[in-house]
Structure 1
């Protein structure tokens, strides 16, 4: 419990109906059928609800996954009611998901998120200590909900090694990164990336840590200029794909609120303490 928020596991049909209502509210699209979610939670899946004064205000949903001989929890959805965002509920749900998953025998949780949504990037990388070295281009195809409509649905495929030193150690020695990518603010107040192709080709792969800029207000940018938002999508796609292929992983996000820019911190993956 935190500031009146209670997190609990949900398993009944009645509880999953509440999830459907909130899911429709958050994404403005048809919810996942209950016959699917009830089957998942009875077979290794986890559905968690966050309640405030008896009302469901947030949820997370995950089901078992399997890849190259490795089982994991695939964390498919996390949603918070718009009236209760920026209250730390997402972090509470993820922490409870971590504890329940460990009790069930998982050591890895995976999910996707839009790398240009800075709120999600900060939670997943900086607060939870997830990492990403896999960029999925147009992951879900064309999406029609209010948050994703109008742009390719590119995603980071994040790994959360919940039993690892990287996730659980209290202090981390961060290697000083280089910051090779330049940007400038336009008259509209939104940042713009300068030429990136030349910079990518000139990066010395002996550099252990690199900063990649992203806009802090990507949703507002998209509403103001879909052309500028698309340019950020395409340019950062090239950057992340190139660096991930060279062995880097995204590990945190640093925010510069004065300039409306965030810096994604990438580190060579072979330096991370991941599997237990």
Structure 2
């Protein structure tokens, strides 16, 4: 397991209607969800917390600065897991380890429900999120979901995190250095064989503006490249920033 060291904030499971309402308000404010259909029902959080799910928060004193929630899941193959639907951090506290602490709290809750894996999804254009998932938590990207929320522009990478393994099966390749890539390479797939293992890389901008006219074309290239990665049986294991403008996904062959 990675070392998820303590920070000068405290995380815990949320209890009670007032806590759930505060969490729902933080969720709506940070994600800027104005239409009511995207808001979060405090009653749902209460029910999840009592029935195999999680509703956890990080506080600075009495102030809620981070919140995550999830539920018990099962895929079509019968694999059971804790599904983390969303995690949100107050903008004033981003970059201070709140995300790690939220995932640590969710992990504790999931193991308490005898759930030994956690899954979630994230936008493939968010390099910072990808780095946290793969480098910090040592999770893996195991699938690509097109229009995950049944709306255009909601493609997601599926993340799988083993909650109680003792050894990282991708430790030998997570830190592989990346060659240099230029702007014209972004979203394209680059394949190689290194130390006898198939490797793939996909460069992308280190940050993306959805209002940019070129973002749609970039999303299409990344979709194609990611689908080829997973069709080849590879697993995403890292996303690292190689310069001020460029980050690179790294995928490798699962040798287990």
Give the TM-score category using the shorter length: 0.7 to 0.9
Residue 86 (structure 1) aligned with residue 95 (structure 2): yes
Task: Measure, in 1, the Cα distance between the counterparts of 2:228 and 2:141.
Answer: 13
Deviation at 1:177, TM superposition (A): 6.1
- Residue 172 (structure 2) aligns with: 173
Give secondary structure in 1 for the equivalent of 2:148. coil
Task: Measure, in 2, the Cα distance between the counterparts of 1:61 and 1:166.
Answer: 27
Deviation at 1:70, TM superposition (A): 2.1
- Residue 52 (structure 2) aligns with: 44
- Residue 23 (structure 2) aligns with: 19
Give secondary structure in 2 for the equivalent of 1:241. helix
- Residue 227 (structure 2) aligns with: 241
Task: Measure, in 1, the Cα distance between the counterparts of 2:174 and 2:14.
Answer: 41
Q: Kindly provide the CA deviation profile for residues 198-241 of structure 1, in whole angstroms up to 9, marking residues without a partner as x.
A: x67x86797522221121111xx334x2x211121110110110
Residue 57 (structure 1) aligned with residue 65 (structure 2): yes
Deviation at 1:21, TM superposition (A): 0.8
Task: Measure, in 1, the Cα distance between the counterparts of 2:96 and 2:200.
Answer: 30
- Residue 146 (structure 1) aligns with: none
Which of residues 120, 123, 134 in structure 2 aligns to 1:125? Answer: 134
Give secondary structure in 1 for the equivalent of 2:214. helix
Which of residues 205, 211, 229 in structure 2 aligns to 1:215? Answer: 205
Deviation at 1:139, TM superposition (A): 1.0
Q: TM-score, normalised by structure 1?
A: 0.80
CA separation of 1:110 and 1:176: change in aligned 2, threshold 3 A: closer
Which of residues 264, 267, 270 in structure 1 aligns to 2:249? Answer: 264
CA contact (8 A) 1:178 1:210 kept: no
**Over aligned residues, Cα RMSD in angstroms?**
2.7
Give secondary structure in 2 for the equivalent of 1:123. helix
Task: Measure, in 2, the Cα distance between the counterparts of 1:27 and 1:193.
Answer: 31
CA contact (8 A) 2:234 2:253 kept: yes
Q: Structure 2: which 5+ runs fail to align?
A: none
Q: Structure 1: which 5+ runs fail to align?
A: 143-150, 185-190
- Residue 108 (structure 1) aligns with: 117
CA contact (8 A) 1:61 1:77 kept: yes
- Residue 153 (structure 1) aligns with: 154
